[in-house]
Amino acid sequence: MALKNINPTQTEAWKKLGEHYSEIKDIHLKEFFKNNPNRKEEFTLSDDDFLVDFSNNRINQQTINLLIDFAKEAQLEDAISKYFSGDVINVTENRAVLHTALRDASNEEILIDGTNIKSEIQTTLTKIESFSNTVISGEWKGYTGKAITDVVNIGIGGSDLGPDMVVEALQFYKNHLNTHFVSNVDGDHVSEVIKHLNPETTLFIIVSKTFTTQETLSNATTIKEWFLQSATEKDIAKHFAAVSTNLKAIDAFGIDQNNVFPMWNWVGGRFSLWSAVGLSISLSVGFTHFSSLLNGASEMDQHFKNTPFKENMPVILSLLSIWYNNFFGCETEAILPYSQYLNKLPSYLQQAIMESNGKSVDRDGNQISYQTGTIIWGSTGTNMQHAFMQLVHQGTKLIPTDFIGFKESLYGLNDHHNKLMANYYAQMEALAFGKTKEEVHLDLKFQNEASKIATLLPFKVFEGNKPSNAITIKKLTPKSLGKLIALYEHKLFIQGVLWNIYSFDQFGVELGKELANKYYNKIK
Ligand code: F6P
């Protein structure tokens, strides 16, 4: 059964939120903290290894209550149960949305057209495991009898961003295989990657859900031609694998049936890293770590499914985001991981969130009169402090931010880690509390700069009152990374439900592709 069609702006709770917004919009975070000494504890959610502190938001307890009333009135509970049980909630493509099934290790059946998909998932996982083990151990030989040294993932969008982001994030856990990603149709991209590769020791994985994507097919064809300059057609079986739903097209490309991994229509491209699309992850860090990544995501699935809204991390984060997007009129959200390993997380989340919720027609097909998908951007701390944070601190725009930090570093170097985390907490404090005229005045005086007070004072004032969430995680492991990604997947799902849009199609990318084909024929 499909999701209910409920216009959020017509709910009782929405109206109350509007009134509540007028009452509290000008209250400073300093006031909120002053008025409630227990604010930190009241607005922090935690479990074994995750802590979400949302006390630096422009909210009070009533805001949370009203937001939760809104989620209930918009029937979020019903949507969650349909999401996990495989109802056709991707109505415009007539599909279920079951990336959560890929990491569900329970014995519960999930039926699609009467077939339990759990056994297909298990068979594929077993195949990923044995394929990865054979390649990593060196048992898998290339056409001249040498072991594989390099793996190249050829894909784009969801068939690239997820694996690329995770492989980079889990570098610490990596084995000896060098992993590369070719995505752009820009021939210079593929040329730069292959120029250092030896065809005898390289394994190429072509990842494309549809196997019709221009970029991926062009890159795969160029690579095949390059490979065939030194090898023969029959050697392709030792060097090419493919992941797709389109088995016919894979066959036509000449890939050995044994090296074909399935994809399913009920997994959206941008949610597919948990499937065989994540083969490059499993090759890069080994199947045990890949499995832990899945377990971490599953842990977040359980939390999301079974926790009351008030203590539910994805629910709270999505409601806060709606609060800023729809009441404060914020247009963007910044994702700021304090870990160089998570360098690619913002781009990955851009696709996940913006391709999902960038919609302006509701589930009834009507033009929407309220704001939906937020613009996602970001970069890693501390580098971004020396780049764009000036605008977040003192610019004219209100930008809610998610800070993501880890209590422990991976290599030790504790002094570095202490400095990193000091910056993490300092940025959030500066954003929230700012610096008053009086404080600037005193500062200048103490620095023996009293003569400059008249000219400099207004420029050195920080207004503060800028919202942030702190997602503080014990340590970056495959498991905690899986949990973090799933947190954002659920956050965007909730927002789509509450905005009354379809989050799991992406028709907006089609027109450009069609026109590009027209131009291509002309340019040729
Ligand atoms: O163009 C957008 C898109 O369809 C994404 O949703 C998808 O992740 C990407 O292209 C790649 O598609 P495919 O895996 O079918 O090559």
> For residue range 66-125, what is the model confidence (pLDDT) as tens digits?
999 999 999 999 999 999 999 999 999 999 999 999 999 999 999 998 899 999 999 999
**C-alpha 145: how far from chain center:** 39
> What is the average per-residue pLDDT within 322-335?
98
Distance from the alpha carbon of residue 156 to the mean position of ligand 1, in angstroms: 6
pLDDT value, residue 449: 87
Residue 2 clears pLDDT 70, i.e. is over it: yes
CB 399 within 8 A of CB 332: yes
Q: Which atom of ligand 1 is nearest to the CA of 216?
A: 16
The more confidently predicted of residues 248 and 1 is 248
Peptide bond into 382 cis (omega under 30): yes
The β-bridge partners of 98 are none
CA–CA gap between residue 467 and residue 57 (Å, rounded): 5
- Report the percent of the chain where pLDDT is more than 70: 100
Residue 425 clears pLDDT 80, i.e. is over it: yes
Distance from the alpha carbon of residue 511 to the mean position of ligand 1, in angstroms: 14
Q: Is the shortest distance between the CB of 213 and ligand 1 below 6 Å?
A: yes
Residue 1 clears pLDDT 80, i.e. is over it: no
The more confidently predicted of residues 2 and 79 is 79
pLDDT value, residue 416: 97
Q: Is the shortest distance between the CB of 482 and ligand 1 below 6 Å?
A: no
Residue nearest to atom 8 of ligand 1 (CA): 158
| Sequence-ordered alpha helix ranges (H) in 174-235 | 187-194, 214-228
Residue 367 tokens read as 């033009």
Q: Which atom of ligand 1 is nearest to the CA of 513?
A: 1
What mean pLDDT, rounded, does the chain reach? 97
Q: Is the shortest distance between the CB of 162 and ligand 1 below 6 Å?
A: no
Residue 4 tokens read as 């209910």
- CA quadruple 164, 504, 57, 51: dihedral positive or negative? negative
Q: Is the shortest distance between the CB of 156 and ligand 1 below 6 Å?
A: yes
- CA quadruple 236, 238, 244, 246: dihedral positive or negative? positive
Query: What is the pTM (predicted TM-score) of this model?
Result: 0.97
CB 172 within 8 A of CB 211: no
Q: Longest C-alpha distance within the chain, in Å? A: 81
> What is the average per-residue pLDDT within 402-431?
97
CB 469 within 8 A of CB 402: yes
> What is the average per-residue pLDDT within 364-374?
97
- CA quadruple 188, 192, 193, 199: dihedral positive or negative? positive
Residue 331 tokens read as 């247009």
Q: Is the shortest distance between the CB of 268 and ligand 1 below 6 Å?
A: no
Residue 115 tokens read as 């077939």
- At 487, give phi and psi (nearest 5°): -60, -45
CB 183 within 8 A of CB 152: no
pLDDT value, residue 285: 98
Residue 513 annotated to the active site: yes
Q: Is the shortest distance between the CB of 495 and ligand 1 below 6 Å?
A: no
Residue nearest to atom 5 of ligand 1 (CA): 157
Pocket test for ligand 1, best of 156, 206, 264 (most atoms within 8 A of CB): 156
Q: Which atom of ligand 1 is nearest to the CA of 272?
A: 8
Residue 34 annotated to the active site: no
Q: Is the shortest distance between the CB of 218 and ligand 1 below 6 Å?
A: no
> What is the average per-residue pLDDT within 181-205?
98
Residue 355 annotated to the active site: yes
Residue 3 tokens read as 């999701």
Spot the catalytic one: 215, 299, 355, 489. Answer: 355
CA–CA gap between residue 170 and residue 410 (Å, rounded): 11
One DSSP character per residue, 456-521 reads HHHHH-B-----EEEEEES---HHHHHHHHHHHHHHHHHHHHHTT---S--GGGHHHHHHHHHHHH
Q: Which atom of ligand 1 is nearest to the CA of 355?
A: 6
Taking the CA of residue 447 as centre, how many other CA atoms within 13 Å lie in the half-sphere pointing to its CB? 10
Residue 52 clears pLDDT 70, i.e. is over it: yes
CA–CA gap between residue 466 and residue 391 (Å, rounded): 11
pLDDT value, residue 450: 86
In 360-422, at which residue ranges do the beta strands (DSSP E only) sit?
A: 375-378, 401-406
Q: Is the shortest distance between the CB of 57 and ligand 1 below 6 Å?
A: no
pLDDT value, residue 50: 96
Q: pLDDT tens across 431-487, in order?
A: 999 999 999 999 999 998 889 998 999 999 999 999 999 999 999 999 999 999 999
CA–CA gap between residue 262 and residue 244 (Å, rounded): 5
One DSSP character per residue, 4-67 reads P---GGGSHHHHHHHHHHHHHTT--HHHHHHH-TTHHHHTEEE-SSEEEE-TTSS--HHHHHHH
**How many H-runs (helices) and E-runs (strands) does the chain carry?**
22, 13
Q: pLDDT tens across 238-247, in order?
A: 999 999 999 8
> What is the average per-residue pLDDT within 159-165?
98
